[in-house]
Amino acid sequence: MQSKQIDQAVAALLPAFRDHGRLVALDTNCRPANRAEGYEVQAALLQAIGEPGLGWKIAATSAAGQKHIGVSGPLAGRLLKSRCLKDGAEVSLTGNFMAVAEAEFAFRIGRDIKRVVSAPLSMSDVMASVEALHVAIEVPASRFEDFAKAGEAQLIAEFACACFFVLGKEVTTDWRGIDLKDHQVTMLSNGKTAALGQGSNVLGDPRLALTWLANELLDHNNFLQAGDVVMTGTCLVPVPVKVGDEVTADFGIFGAVSVKFS
C-alpha cells in the first residue's frame, strides 16, 4: 500500500478504536487487499494511537471461529498496555456489540524470537523463549459493524478485534510438564457453568498457536519481543455477557481469573 492509503485507513480506524465506535468498512481507496497490507495498516494504527503495545492476540484459532468470520486461518492483532486489566476488574460494554468473554492461555515472552535459519520455527524453538504462563480472559470488540463479513485483511488492520483483556497472575504450577492441549477449562457466568473447553480448541494446542504467531510475524517483517504477552485464543465457545454479569475462567490447578461487566 502507498503511505497515503495507509494514512487514510488509519484516519478512519483511529477514532473508532479510541471511542469504541464502528465503521461499515474502510473506503475502497484505502482498504487493505491482503494480509500483508492489513499488517501495514495495523502497524501504522499502533503508532498513531501513541501508547505502548503490550503484545499480541491470536484470533480465529478454531475451525468454527474461522468459518464464522470467513477467514482462511488465524489472525494476529495488537494488545495495548492500557487495555490490560487485573483479575477482578470491571469492563464497560459500551460500544461493544460482540459482548462475549473468552477463556485463554497467555504466554509472556522472555527473549526475542527471531529466525536464525530459513526454516520455520518449531514449537520447541518458540517455547524455549517463553518466560511464563498466565490464565486470562479476553473481551474482544470489533471496529466494524459486521465483523463477520469484514474479511481478514480489514480485521488484521483493526487489531483482529482486540480490546480489553484481563491477565491473571503468573501460573506457579509446573505447567511445562503438563499437556496443555488436554487441559480442561470452565467458564462460569454468575456462578453457573456457562461453557466447557480445553486447550486443543486453540489451534490444536496453545503452544502450536504461539508457534504459528511467531512464524506469522517473521513472515511479515516483525517478531515477538522480550516482555510481550500473547493471548493465544479461546479455549471454549465465547460466552455472551451483559451489564451486571460476572464471569470466571477456571483453569483448575493453574488458577482462575474473573471480570465484571458494566
| Interacting residues of 37 by C-beta distance below 8 A, sequence separation 6+ | 1, 153, 157
- The 8-class DSSP code of residue 238 comes to P
Fold of the CATH domain 3-261 = Fumarylacetoacetate hydrolase; domain 2 (3.90.850)
- Rounded to an integer, what distance in angstroms lies between the CA atom of residue 79 and that of residue 101? 16
What is the full per-residue pLDDT of the chain (262 aa) written as tens digits? 999 999 999 999 999 999 999 999 999 999 999 999 999 999 999 999 999 899 999 999 988 888 888 898 999 999 999 999 999 999 999 999 999 999 999 999 999 999 877 889 999 999 999 999 999 999 999 999 999 999 999 999 999 999 999 999 999 999 999 999 999 999 999 999 999 999 999 999 999 999 999 999 999 999 999 999 999 999 999 999 999 999 999 999 999 999 999 9
Q: What is the pTM of this model?
A: 0.96
- Residue count of the chain, please give it: 262
- Rounded to an integer, what distance in angstroms lies between the CA atom of residue 200 and that of residue 223? 25
